[in-house]
Amino acid sequence: MKEIKTLVLQPPISDEVMWGRFKKGSGYVPPLGIMYIAGYMESKGFSCDVLDCLVEKYKISDLKKHLLKNKYDFIGITCMTNSALDAFASAKVAREACPDALIVLGGVHPTALPEQTIRECSDADFVIIGEGEQTFVDLANCLQEEKSCHTVDGLAYRSKEESKVKYTTPRTPIPDLDALPFPAYHKVPMEKYIPHVTQYIDLPNYPILLQRGCPYQCTYCDHGAVLGRKIRSLSVERAIENIRYLVKNYGARGVYFLDSVFTVRRDFIMKLLKELQHQDFKISFACNARADQLDIELLTELKKTGCWMIQVGIESGNIKSLELIKKASYSSAFKPDPNDPNGRPYLLNKYEQEIRNCQKLGIQVMASYILGLPGETIEDVETTISFAKKLATETALFFLPVPYPGSHLLTQAKEDGGLKENMSWKDYSAVDYSNPVYVNPKIGKEKMQELLTRAFNEYYKQPKVIYRNIKKITRMKDITKYVKAFRALTGV
């Protein structure tokens, strides 16, 4: 059989595209998606290199030199919407350096827009739709055995004979995550990874993924496009084994659970927390959660186990906007709270209650908000800013709407009439709004930008926000971290 030389890579992407206004706090984390592919390839007997052009600070010229030197037979490139042009450029130099190689694109952008990706990136032979591990191995087997790749499940490709994009049989998501090997940590320079300054309290700190999929249908999110709606989890034992591996082999003192909603399976998380409390190692950790899934019992266990920060998507202080973006899956969330004499909506009360519980327990909260959603007025945006200031979490992130491919918000933005025409994929940078993809017709571009700037300035000048953050400074090294975080968030 033919021996093949394989590479999966993260393309060169500028800090401006990656972080926009937050680039002063920029950081890098291991690219778990392609590392999982490399680990799975190795478990099936294939060697597979991993190149993270971000952490290596490679420019496109450096990537070309690397490819010319190594002459790969099979190259996989991960692709996000805001960096799609960078992925396409990487495919182009890959074709120039390795003209006979099989080149594939994968990730959220090609999965959401397979036909468009194939048409826009002529240097890619295939697009992988959905999870990539099994598809990548199947393609490697075809190359090794010198068979046609067009029978492999989970692909889109350009049919030269029929002059159209064709699809193979859809790939079924991997049902048992325990069957996957760990990401190929040994293939990347783990010592170089330091996350964005807002995402850690202790170093080394590494990301970890315990669950794939998200059952919720928030209109602004495209998470389910690649990983699906059904939740699939590692076993508690395998999850702890992965954390232990990072502690033992890379000295991890903290982790960030990347699960879209860490608390989505309460029984699983409660069992995991209980087991972690009895291990012979201690870690700090942060996670993503929905505020309406939190309660004092769960938060107490999170704090006891080492949770220092929870990132929650509040998104709006307007109940009509929360309903528009389907921020809750139960209709009663948007109705008056029966226990509130003023008839305030249940969801807004729940948000405030659980933020207060976090503050009482000493868990920091990073809350995110979207200003100027379809249908909103200037007054609605001001209501959200006021609500954010009332909650006064340690960190608040304010965004303008970014309707990503694969999200229902894209349809809503089109219907609203505010979606930009003739846009570039670089316009999709979620944190740089000099040329926004969507402009709310009721507010206007300049006013939206003004409100965004005002939200950050007013929020971080609040004495209670300043006080809450100063209280968290207990070590000399915290001072540098908090100064850097303040500069990243405010642009100072």
Statement: residue 149 has pLDDT above 90: yes
| Across 134-160, average pLDDT | 95
List, by residue range, all CATH 3.40.50.280 domains of the chain.
6-167
Residue 106 CA to residue 109 CA, distance in Å, equals: 8
How confident is the model at residue 354, as a pLDDT? 97
How confident is the model at residue 477, as a pLDDT? 67
Phi, psi of 327 (to 5 degrees): -75, -10
pLDDT band at residue 27, thresholds of 50, 70 and 90? confident
List, by residue range, all CATH 3.80.30.20 domains of the chain.
194-490
Statement: residue 66 has pLDDT above 60: yes
Cα radius of gyration (the chain): 23
| Across 370-384, average pLDDT | 96
Strand runs (DSSP E) across 168-273, as ranges? 205-208, 211-212, 232-233, 254-257
Statement: residue 23 has pLDDT above 70: no
How confident is the model at residue 132, as a pLDDT? 96
> pLDDT by residue (tens digit) across 88-107?
999 999 999 999 999 999 99
How confident is the model at residue 215, as a pLDDT? 80
62 burial via Cβ count (<10 Å: 0-12, 13-18, 19+): middle
List helix spans (H) across 325-377: 346-361
44 burial via Cβ count (<10 Å: 0-12, 13-18, 19+): middle
> pLDDT by residue (tens digit) across 327-368?
876 777 888 888 888 888 899 999 999 999 999 999 999 999
DSSP codes of every residue in 84-143: HHHHHHHHHHHHHHSTTSEEEEESHHHHH-HHHHHHH-TT-SEEE-S--HHHHHHHHHHH
> pLDDT by residue (tens digit) across 431-446?
667 888 999 999 999 9
How confident is the model at residue 309, as a pLDDT? 97
| Average pLDDT for the chain | 91
Whether the predicted model's global pTM rises above the 0.85 cut: yes
> pLDDT by residue (tens digit) across 250-287?
999 999 999 999 999 999 999 999 999 999 999 999 99
Statement: residue 40 has pLDDT above 80: yes
Give the fold, CATH level 3, of 6-167: Rossmann fold (3.40.50)
DSSP codes of every residue in 298-321: HHHHHHHHTEEEEEEEEE-S-HHH
How confident is the model at residue 486, as a pLDDT? 61
Instruction: Tell which CATH architecture fits domain 194-490.
Output: Alpha-Beta Horseshoe (3.80)
Do residues 371 and 384 lie in contact, with contact meaning Cβ atoms separated by under 8 Å?
yes
Taking CA atoms, 173 is separated from 149, 406, 466, in Å, by: 20, 18, 45
Q: What percent of the chain has pLDDT over 90?
A: 74
Spatial CA neighbour of 198 closest among 442, 490, 427: 490
